[in-house]
Amino acid sequence: MKTEFLKENRILFIFLSGEIDHASARDIILFADSEIDVYRPSKLVLDFKNVSFADSSAIAIVIGRSNKMKKLGKTEKIKIQNVTPTIMKIFSFSGLESYIER
């Protein structure tokens, strides 16, 4: 996992990688939350380009981080990008399509 922070517009990119499942979710959540706490971004972008597998724990990751951004009082909240069609379907089951950056 890598992050990139754009100072000008305070966008935090988190580049997730590998397989996202219930076994790896906890570490991803801890990592993302600590990065959010460090940078206090006005927008968070979760990038799935290097994610080879994801199950429903990815939904919990997105919803949880969205709630965390809301708690910080951020209005633009969160976007997800570069998701595969299968992972896109998983997100759509729980109404997360609107989070997807096109």
Partner 1 sequence: MKKINEAKIVFTSHLSNEAFARTAVAAFVATADPIMSELAELKTAVSEAVSNAAVHGYKDKIGYITVKMRLYSDFKVIITVSDKGVGIADIEKAREPLFTTSKSGEQAGMGFTVMESFTDGLKIRSTVGKGTTVTMKKVFTSKDGVK
Q: What are the residues binding partner 1 (CB under 8 A)?
A: 19, 21-23, 25-26, 29, 53-57, 59-60, 63-64, 84-86, 89-90, 93-94
Q: Which is nearer to partner 1, 14 or 90 (CB)?
A: 90
Containing 86, the helix (H) or strand (E) segment is helix 85-93
Spell out the alpha helix ranges (H) of the chain: 22-39, 57-71, 85-93
Q: Which is nearer to partner 1, 5 or 36 (CB)?
A: 36
| Contact criterion met (CB below 8 Å) for 65 and 73 | no
Q: Which is nearer to partner 1, 81 or 84 (CB)?
A: 84
